[in-house]
Chain A
């Protein structure tokens, strides 16, 4: 699985600690159709470098910081991780008239101005959404040692 915290995303993290930038209390989980099912942008990647899906009825999903789960080992001893909402998937709106092929998900800050992280789906398989399909995503954030 390809995943990255690009420069913009690391800046957000470092802004939270050790710097004392304004606290980010929400993030947005979004879906992209650009890149491929197994690649993401490089370290200079940003929101302009990806294409967010526009399938009918699509909407970004707000993730509250308070809902991220307990910190745990990112196996095996590679780092630490947190899974959103104890593993309960985030459900995107049912696809309307026009679907899309989704290559992965990305996180933005609450204001949707910065790309925090981008990742393919863990199985490296794109999802081709058609009318009335529903996509559920379980996001995990991990920091490796």
Chain B
């Protein structure tokens, strides 16, 4: 994308002088100054000797034509201001001449290579009410085209070429008038002209220069979080992942998460799809608004073995076909929808808060505690099963997990803690 061109103009005119200063406001850093100078026709050699400034910048002429007794002279120069930002320019001629100078400050030009060799033209124009320049061919469109015309009549106005912008109004001083116009080229061939109300009595001289525009780049802003423990790659995450966070709005699909995952957090709005979670998951927290779909969470028969805590926040949707063995705690907060076809063996605590809709096809074997608060809608197809063989007649002992609980299942207790 081409950079935006802006021009700040400064004018100076002098009826007859060998040298004079042009005071300007210090240009912005990165700006380019162009200087267009018109010299009145007259006897003897009439040429521009130099343009300098108070900080030592170099001004390079790109179009040069000295005045003579029959034609006006015109010059176009530029400086990339490598030496600093000037406030005074000095225009020097080889003789005392009437001249008209315009200094323009440009933003958006290429300060490294402002000019491509050969992209300049100048020639005499026929007398009359129109002015123009020779045709300038440029390598590519998108360049600043700057055209200047030196005339020796007093013109009240100047009508620029279509699509061009006039750079300062005409102002005749000592029979010398210079007008300039510019545009960002739309083609590779430019020959801008213009009209003036009074017919020129001496041929004007037109000059045109193409300046290179800085290629505009795109600025990208990114963030990168270097998180220890967040090794998380593709379908098979990793062993020992400590934390997995699915930001709100994300869809987190993992075929096989990991062993020893310590925490799996799905932020509100996230969708966590985990057909097979892991062994030894310690904590699975689903924020309100989360959808959690786990077809199979156990290893043996599907599921998580030895999960310590599973919390489903209000608003979460939790669908588990087969939860786990040895889950220690499963809490569905108010508003949660928990659908567990087969919950768990030896779940220690299952708390279903008011407002929860819990459908447990097969609830617990050897659960110690099942609390359902007022307002709970619970549908239990088979809430009690035969206690495992090791529990029968062996209160408090003989379980493979080594738990020293006090007694075996004597029936699911609803509404109170045991």
Contact = CB atoms under 8 A, between A and B. Distances in A.
Interface of A: 1-5, 9-10, 13, 38-40, 42-43, 74-76, 78-79, 81, 89, 94-95, 104-105, 107, 116-123, 127, 129-145
Contacts of A120: 224
The 4 closest A-B pairs by CB, nearest first: A132-B217, A117-B226, A133-B217, A144-B243
Nearest to A45: B231
A119 B220 contact: no
A71 B106 CA distance: 45
Contacts of B214: 132
Given A129-B220, A144-B228, A145-B262, 9 more contacts: A2-B232, A4-B228, A10-B228, A39-B233, A75-B245, A79-B227, A122-B225, A132-B215, A144-B263
A103 B346 CA distance: 47
A43 B231 CA distance: 8
A81 B243 CA distance: 14
A116 B228 CA distance: 10
A132 B108 CA distance: 13
A130 B217 contact: yes
A97 B232 CA distance: 35
Nearest to B218: A133
Contact of B242 (A121, A129, A144): A144
Contact of A78 (B220, B224, B232, B265): B265
Given A127-B222, A136-B220, A137-B222, A42 B228 contact: no
Interface string B187-220: 0000000000000000000000000001111111
B231 A140 contact: no
Contacts of A139: 223-226
A76 B225 CA distance: 14
Contacts of B219: 133-136
21 contacts: A5-B228, A9-B228, A38-B234, A43-B231, A76-B245, A78-B243, A78-B265, A122-B224, A123-B222, A127-B220, A131-B215, A132-B216, A132-B217, A134-B220, A135-B219, A137-B221, A137-B224, A138-B222, A139-B226, A142-B230, A144-B263
Nearest to B239: A43
B389 interface: no
Contacts of B44: none
Interface centre among A5, A78, A89, A137 (most CB of B within 10 A): A78
A76 B224 CA distance: 17
A107 B220 CA distance: 19
A43 B241 CA distance: 11
Contacts of A119: 224-227
A144 B232 CA distance: 13
A134 B245 CA distance: 30
B217 A134 contact: yes
A142 B245 CA distance: 13
Contacts of A38: 234
Nearest to A127: B220
Contacts of A79: 227, 229, 243
B267 interface: yes
Contact of A143 (B229, B262, B265): B229
Contacts of A42: 231, 233, 238
Nearest to B234: A39
Contacts of A135: 219-220, 222
Contacts of A5: 226-229
A122 B214 CA distance: 31
B108 to A, nearest CB: 12
Contacts of B216: 132
Contact of A131 (B217, B226, B231, B287): B217
Given A40-B233, A131-B215, A145-B243, A3 B226 contact: yes
Nearest to B262: A145
B233 A136 contact: no
B222 A142 contact: no
Nearest to B237: A2
A4 B229 CA distance: 7
Contacts of A75: 245
Contacts of A89: 221
